Structure 1
Amino acid sequence: MVHSRAREILLTLYKHQHALRYQNEVKNLARQNRSLSIRPSSSYATRIDSFWKKYYGKSVNKFCHAVCASVNGIEDERYIPREIWNLEILPYLNRLALHDAYADKNAIDIFLEDFQAPITIFKKMNGIYYLSKNQPISRNTALKYLLEHGGTVIIKPSFSADGKNVKALYIQDNQIFVGDKPIPFERLDDAYGNDYIIQEKIVQHPIMHEIYPNSVNTLRMVTFRLKSKIYPLFTFARFGNRGGVVDNIGAGGLGCRINEDGNLNKYAIDKLGYKYERHPYSNYSFEEGRIPNINAYSDYVITLHHQLPYFDIVSWDIAIGLQAEPILIELNLVGDSTFYQMVSGPLFGSFTEELLEKIRDSPYRPSWHIKWKL
């Protein structure tokens, strides 16, 4: 009894501490972008309280509601506060104890079947080199394949976020270049350690290339399982910026909502919620863009999601190939709920009420962040 009570107290303190941290992250957005508000109007606040007390059993912090509405102009009670997403909803939906294994960029072809991905030259997993079909090879053979390939390739760590340490390499005359500087393979291999992958650079669809040519730009597509059926929640396009080779929002990229007909929204936003009607690098007008085959891409990621039984919400990064074919770059099992909602509106849309009731009434309220045994 004493042990159980102590565990309950520690869990409460832990969740309170992290809730404050997540709330401060949202407040920091408003500090860095003065056009954002963290205070909803009194009428909006009343609607928020009424909604959350009805479906969740208690009121919630309203910073996220105010910030998201400041960006997209949608005053909706169904926005999910960052702390509720991270501490309650995400661990309820996804088996996050398995997160690192499934998030490994080298392991996608182990967990998933029947998908197109960038061509792998070789990959290194737990210190061992492999070809694309997971056939082990020697270090010298890996280098041989790389030098014989030539041209531009992409190297990225297996475990990374926000495009960190994703680089373009250029292979010419049996030398490896980063930018215009040669780098010995031994130094490159040591820098990336035991887990990384080298792939061919994708030739992307003209519309994605025209908006921003220096990175492979992707569709961030989010799917959600409810009662064994999988639904598409929303899609936005991600574009690189500032001459960088990645489209990640955390690395300076932009996100632009895609409407159901495939048309881009009239503006994109950066990670702080600043709006851009034209891409600042290419001057492309976002509202003139249209993504081909958008419904086919939704069907594609739904099919993939059925192969992931331990995760009820998944974010997919899909590149559009030259012939408008979907190419899976990677999957994400966490996601930035605040940015998602700034760019696309309430995270779960019409599913929000049912999901909150399920969590409210569930006897199991996990907290995957706790790393110690209580």
Structure 2
Amino acid sequence: MSFIKKILTSLRDQYTVVNTRKRWTNEEKMYLRRFYFPELTKEEIHEIQQEWKGIAVSKRLFNAHRFYKKINGFDARYLAMPVYDPIIIRTLNPFQDACVFVNKGFFEVLFAGLKQPQLYIKRLDGHYFDSRSALITKDEAITTLCKKEQFIIKPSVNSHGGAGIKLVKYRRSRLEIESLIAEYKGDFIIQEILDQHPDTAKFNPESLNTIRVISLFLNGKVTILKSALRCGQNGAEVDNATSGGLMINIKEDGFLENFGIDSQFEKIFETHNGVKISGQRIVDFPKLKEIIMLNHPKLYPSLHLIAWDFAINSEGEPVFIEGNTKVPGIFWIQLCGGPIFGDRTQEVIEYVKKRIHD
């Protein structure tokens, strides 16, 4: 029986790898049809194969290196999405553990030690809860929201790219709030609209411009791998690159790179409202890094790669928005900041190889 179970598990895992890679390679082909990217030389392909030896050697999996080559020049250490997901990330972040941290409705309990936006209402499995996570009725929830001048509502899961996120900026009637809630079939959270710091607001005041920080906790060591400012453009209310925003690399000293990357794979040196990116700085960036260095092993001890999203409030304090655990996004942050694992690339490769071949 155990032998049959082992065979079935192996077949399931192989299906997951093939299906996931197909999804990512199809997305890459779409980009290749729409935009120009330089070809890889034979020498570059060989270098990639040597860098990732033992994990992936197929030339079909290295299209992403053409994207990165266009922006930053060639580097074999770039991690292609069909290699990252499912092989690398499923090894670094065991799936069953990563799923624990997906639902935003649990954040105020799981991450009570981190400053977060004020929670007004949340719905979990059809039940309504107030700001203290006390069970209330739907009517009580609506009454609470009727008293709020403004708020933001988000699906508790699957809000990638700003999907399902709505900002309410004026007081609504009871009927309007009932109608709004009815639009959401699953769980959601409703929070205050954060008053962000002028240093991040100036890039696009209409959106909450957040800081994405990716940290690695491996072999007893925490490293801040990459950091980037995500800001909306042209008055958009969300900051994601896939929704028309910019991704701007943040250097170790908290200053921004002199350009951002948009969804057209173009370098942008000035925002739509005339803010020059070069010379801009994230307020008290060392404090944010310190929070992440301290809390990665504390809050995510079994997950090795986390993509943290923070905002900076009007007082200059880092405010936790969410931690991405299942498949932390690396595509756009590599475009603006370089190979995701940097000097720890081979260490990660050896860690993954040891576990997939055991």
Q: Same fold (TM over 0.5)?
A: yes
Name whichever of 347-356 and 56-65 sits farther off. 56-65
Match of 1:296 among 265, 282, 287: 287
Contact 2:142 2:178 in 1 (8 A): no
Residues in 2 aligned to 1:14 and 1:95: alpha-carbon distance in whole angstroms? 14
Q: Structure 1 residue 68 and structure 2 residue 50: aligned?
A: no
Residues in 2 aligned to 1:127 and 1:6: alpha-carbon distance in whole angstroms? 35
The one-letter code sitting in structure 2 at the alignment partner of 1:303 is L
Match of 2:181 among 163, 182, 189: 189
> 1:85, CA displacement in angstroms?
0.4
1:177-208 Cα offsets, whole Å, 9 max, x none, are: xxxxxx62221111123411111111111111
Residues in 1 aligned to 2:71 and 2:177: alpha-carbon distance in whole angstroms? 45
> 1:14, CA displacement in angstroms?
5.1
Residues in 1 aligned to 2:93 and 2:144: alpha-carbon distance in whole angstroms? 38
The residue number in structure 2 matching 1:137 is 136
The residue number in structure 1 matching 2:23 is 21
Q: Structure 1 residue 314 and structure 2 residue 306: aligned?
A: yes
| 211 and 13 in structure 1: CA distance in 2 versus 1, 3 angstrom threshold | closer
The residue number in structure 2 matching 1:369 is none
Residues in 1 aligned to 2:100 and 2:9: alpha-carbon distance in whole angstroms? 28
Give matches, 1:165-184, under 5 Å.
165-172=164-171, 175=173, 184=176
Match of 1:153 among 151, 154, 160: 151
Contact 2:152 2:191 in 1 (8 A): yes
| 363 and 266 in structure 1: CA distance in 2 versus 1, 3 angstrom threshold | closer
Contact 2:119 2:190 in 1 (8 A): yes
1:77-110 Cα offsets, whole Å, 9 max, x none, are: 1111211100211110112224444111111122
Percent sequence identity is 26
| 149 and 76 in structure 1: CA distance in 2 versus 1, 3 angstrom threshold | same
> 1:56, CA displacement in angstroms?
4.6
Residues in 2 aligned to 1:162 and 1:8: alpha-carbon distance in whole angstroms? 33
Residues in 1 aligned to 2:337 and 2:295: alpha-carbon distance in whole angstroms? 22
Match of 1:338 among 310, 324, 331: 331
> 1:44, CA displacement in angstroms?
2.4
The residue number in structure 2 matching 1:250 is 242
- List alignment gaps of at least 5 residues for structure 1: 177-182, 366-374
1:244-292 Cα offsets, whole Å, 9 max, x none, are: 2111222222100011111111111123422211112x12111131112
Q: Secondary structure at the match of 1:143?
A: helix
The one-letter code sitting in structure 2 at the alignment partner of 1:209 is A
Contact 1:128 1:194 in 2 (8 A): no
User: Please, what TM-score do these two structures have when normalized by structure 2?
Assistant: 0.90
Contact 1:56 1:357 in 2 (8 A): no
> 1:8, CA displacement in angstroms?
4.6
Contact 2:79 2:340 in 1 (8 A): yes
The one-letter code sitting in structure 2 at the alignment partner of 1:232 is I
1:105-132 Cα offsets, whole Å, 9 max, x none, are: 1111222231111111111111111122
The residue number in structure 2 matching 1:267 is 259
Residues in 2 aligned to 1:5 and 1:106: alpha-carbon distance in whole angstroms? 37
Residues in 1 aligned to 2:208 and 2:10: alpha-carbon distance in whole angstroms? 47
Residues in 2 aligned to 1:10 and 1:105: alpha-carbon distance in whole angstroms? 29
> 1:230, CA displacement in angstroms?
1.8
Residues in 2 aligned to 1:47 and 1:232: alpha-carbon distance in whole angstroms? 26
> 1:24, CA displacement in angstroms?
2.8
The one-letter code sitting in structure 2 at the alignment partner of 1:233 is L
The residue number in structure 1 matching 2:114 is 115
Q: Structure 1 residue 226 and structure 2 residue 209: aligned?
A: no
Consecutive aligned runs of 4 or more in structure 1 exceeding 6 Å deviation: none
Q: Secondary structure at the match of 1:336?
A: coil
Name whichever of 97-106 and 120-129 sits farther off. 97-106
Residues in 1 aligned to 2:274 and 2:125: alpha-carbon distance in whole angstroms? 43
The residue number in structure 2 matching 1:208 is 200
Residues in 2 aligned to 1:319 and 1:244: alpha-carbon distance in whole angstroms? 17
Contact 1:29 1:272 in 2 (8 A): no
Kindly tell me the number of residue pairs found equivalent between the two proteins: 352
| 50 and 133 in structure 1: CA distance in 2 versus 1, 3 angstrom threshold | same
Residues in 1 aligned to 2:152 and 2:247: alpha-carbon distance in whole angstroms? 22
Residues in 2 aligned to 1:148 and 1:322: alpha-carbon distance in whole angstroms? 23
1:344-370 Cα offsets, whole Å, 9 max, x none, are: 1111111110111122222567xxxxx
Name whichever of 283-292 and 332-341 sits farther off. 332-341
> 1:64, CA displacement in angstroms?
1.6
- List alignment gaps of at least 5 residues for structure 2: none
> 1:63, CA displacement in angstroms?
1.2
Contact 1:131 1:137 in 2 (8 A): yes
> 1:140, CA displacement in angstroms?
2.1
User: Please, what TM-score do these two structures have when normalized by structure 1?
Assistant: 0.87
The residue number in structure 2 matching 1:370 is none
| 44 and 124 in structure 1: CA distance in 2 versus 1, 3 angstrom threshold | same
Contact 1:127 1:193 in 2 (8 A): no
